[in-house]
């Protein structure tokens, strides 16, 4: 082997070194989260609802239209900027971050990727300015097995009639537009439909009293002879399986961002407490046991953040579907592990105070657990990663 002389090029920037535009965006979202979200977090957690005034502020600030093109009333941002926004919001409140994630990364992103011109013109301006989106795929028997759907879509001339019940639908309690999935009893597969909340036969019931991320307002969606126009079918008849798989991959990046932000918030709370709390005549930050715990928390967060940012860049570059699925699964898996460990450590550093609702780490700890469950349990993500390596399973 006769190697050519090496000619070093300029070093690429570190993945966590943001451009000036991205840094400004991060700072804007952080300031918004501190001013508008933090004062409301405890009450939203208590009531399990997204504050109505905050909802309006989310629209006014552009946080519901990050990637929507300017011609439809949006900011025209990137997927990476969506991820940054979710991360910064979750640093303060993971429930609000889930609401923003579902709207941007699942509903809006799917419309941008799969909708025709009429659908874009009808829905994107509404989703940018006033209408909150929800992604309705889960059912009683369709959780990890997401496509075991019983909701049906009977075709009629120029229309479809939907019947069924969707469960665990984040944003459902306050959503105005649902991206709902149903199976064709005539054997044409799964299709996706954009369904307006005021459509006759649609009702939102049974708000779920869940452990954490409570501001996301999870509820059931009931469809009883809901008639939608053929033009509300997104991605074509029978195209719902592919559309959902692509959407959930992007959604997993959003959830990974939520978990990284949540973990960052836990670290900040624990660090501040350790700097001020005194025991045995000194601040607990001086004890090696606390120092090492904080250090491990920082390592977990940094590793998860780097993998998340790299996965997002790979999506933006246009990698093939197999690589996107693997990267999204790895990013969410690692972020979920890091968030749970970090939140637990934060509670322990605060001791008895961490176990009370007087401090936010109690809520952060409850919020963190969802990361191993929704949009792919950790075991399902490992299955996906393994399948991309071995070709066995899916």
Question: Can you read off the two tokens belonging to residue 10?
Answer: 């300029």
**Which residues are catalytically annotated?**
375
Pairing of strands 202-205, 282-283: unpaired
Whole-number Å distance between alpha carbons of 147 and 142: 6
């Amino acid at each position: 082997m006769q190697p050519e002389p090496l000619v070093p090029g300029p070093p690429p920037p570190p993945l966590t070194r943001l451009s000036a535009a991205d840094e400004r965006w991060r700072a804007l979202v952080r300031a918004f989260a501190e001013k508008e979200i933090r004062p409301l977090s405890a009450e939203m957690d208590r009531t399990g609802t997204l504050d109505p005034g905050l909802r309006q502020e989310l629209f006014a600030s552009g946080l519901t239209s990050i990637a929507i093109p300017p011609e439809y009333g949006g900011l025209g941002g990137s997927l990476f900027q969506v991820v940054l926004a979710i991360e910064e919001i979750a640093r303060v409140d993971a429930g609000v971050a889930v609401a923003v994630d579902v709207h941007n990364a699942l509903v809006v992103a799917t419309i941008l990727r799969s909708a025709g011109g009429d659908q874009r013109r009808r829905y994107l301006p509404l989703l940018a300015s006033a209408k909150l989106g929800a992604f309705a795929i889960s059912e009683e028997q369709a959780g990890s097995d997401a496509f075991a759907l019983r909701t049906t879509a009977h075709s009629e001339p120029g229309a479809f009639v939907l019947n069924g019940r969707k469960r665990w639908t984040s944003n459902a309690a306050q959503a105005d537009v649902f991206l709902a999935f149903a199976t064709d009893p005539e054997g044409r597969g799964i299709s996706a439909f954009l369904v307006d909340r005021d459509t006759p036969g649609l009702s939102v019931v049974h708000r779920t009293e869940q452990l954490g991320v409570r501001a996301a307002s999870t509820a059931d969606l009931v469809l009883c002879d809901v008639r939608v126009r053929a033009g509300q079918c997104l991605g074509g008849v029978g195209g719902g399986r592919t559309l959902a798989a692509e959407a959930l991959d992007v959604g997993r990046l959003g959830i990974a961002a939520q978990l990284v932000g949540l973990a960052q918030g836990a670290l900040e709370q624990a660090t501040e407490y350790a700097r001020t709390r005194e025991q045995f005549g000194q601040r607990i930050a001086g004890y090696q046991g606390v120092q090492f715990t904080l250090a491990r928390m920082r390592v977990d967060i940094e590793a998860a953040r780097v993998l998340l940012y790299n996965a997002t860049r790979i999506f933006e570059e246009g990698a093939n579907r197999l690589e996107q699925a693997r990267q999204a699964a790895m990013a969410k898996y690692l972020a979920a592990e890091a968030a749970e460990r970090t939140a637990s450590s934060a509670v322990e550093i605060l001791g008895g105070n961490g176990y009370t609702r007087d401090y936010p780490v109690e809520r952060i700890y409850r919020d963190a657990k969802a990361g191993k469950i929704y949009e792919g349990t950790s075991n399902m993500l490992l299955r996906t990663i393994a399948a991309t390596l071995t070709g066995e399973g899916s």
